[in-house]
Chains A and B, each alone.
Chain A
Amino acid sequence: MSEIKKFLYVNRKAPYGTIYAWESLEVVLIGAAFDQDVTLAFVDDGVYQIVKGTDTAGIEMKNFSPTYTALGDYDIKKIYVEKESLEKRGLTVDDLLDLKWEDEDEDWAEKDSIHVVSSAELADIMDDADITLSF
């Protein structure tokens, strides 16, 4: 079977308090090698995974923020964040990491990977996925 499936990774948990965020990211990185259609969704506490300004020195845990920034290099460019989840937490897109990807077809122009969407738009994205991996 060589068909391309739509893989959706749904992240609903905050980082560091539990390992889900980091181990989810490990799946995303490995999965990127399989040439499937990949979409990431950050909802509820999952939005805390991609806030900027994290410093984990004091808790002696590896800071994996830079790994999100590298996602564009893995050709992962569809990252959806639920607007309601951000608002509920007093966050805006300005609080999030500046995730970019380079468009080969437009002379490697840098484009935003993060799209803030409504719950209804996210429902459509979820409905459209073939395989949903939840963390």
Chain B
Amino acid sequence: MKFSIQVNEGPYQHQSSDTAYQFTKAALEAGHEIFRVFFYHDGVNNGTRLTTPPQDDRNIVNRWSELAAEHELDLVVCVAAAQRRGIVDEGEMQRNGKDAENIAPGFRISGLGQLIEAGIQADRLVVFGD
């Protein structure tokens, strides 16, 4: 079965990204396909590679990046939400004249249409948030 996942909260502040990650991992282990993981609201903060959690804690961002590399996941950060919160990739950096980008490996920035498409294309959409 094909799942899409929506993550509405950033890492650490809320458990939602953790739960979404565990759900996604379990779905892949059960042989399901993950069509897309869409990060919205503060969820876009899952997509910065500049986070540095303490050594003895889980690295939520890296964990998503690694899962994406392993399973070719499509991790999409909403562009409008990302612009508000300073999540920037190469293209956004140039378009908006910023002096840096910070997108984590495996994530890409795209429009809200990707969320609607995720709902249309997948058999199930599950929302994780606060």
Contacts and interface: CB of A to CB of B under 8 A. Distances in A.
Q: Do A and B come from one complex?
A: yes
Given A5-B120, A23-B41, A131 B125 contact: yes
Interface string B66-94: 00000000000000110000000000000
A133 B112 contact: no
A34 B116 contact: yes
Contacts of B81: 23
Contact of A27 (B112, B117, B121): B112
B44 to A, nearest CB: 10
Contacts of A133: 6, 115, 119, 125, 127
Contacts of A26: 80, 112
Contacts of B129: 134-135
Nearest to B126: A132
B40 interface: yes
B116 to A, nearest CB: 5
Nearest to A23: B41
B119 A7 contact: yes
Size range of the chain B interface in the assembly: 10 to 19
Dominant secondary structure of chain B at its interface with chain A: helix
Contact of A1 (B112, B113, B116, B121): B121
B53 interface: no
Dominant secondary structure of chain A at its interface with chain B: mixed
A131 B41 contact: no
Nearest to A10: B127
Interface in A1-48: 1, 5, 7, 19-20, 23, 26-27, 30-31, 33-34, 36
Contacts of B120: 1, 5, 34, 36, 131
Given A23-B40, A27-B115, 15 more contacts: A1-B120, A23-B41, A23-B80, A26-B80, A26-B112, A27-B116, A30-B115, A30-B116, A31-B116, A34-B120, A132-B127, A133-B115, A133-B119, A133-B127, A134-B129
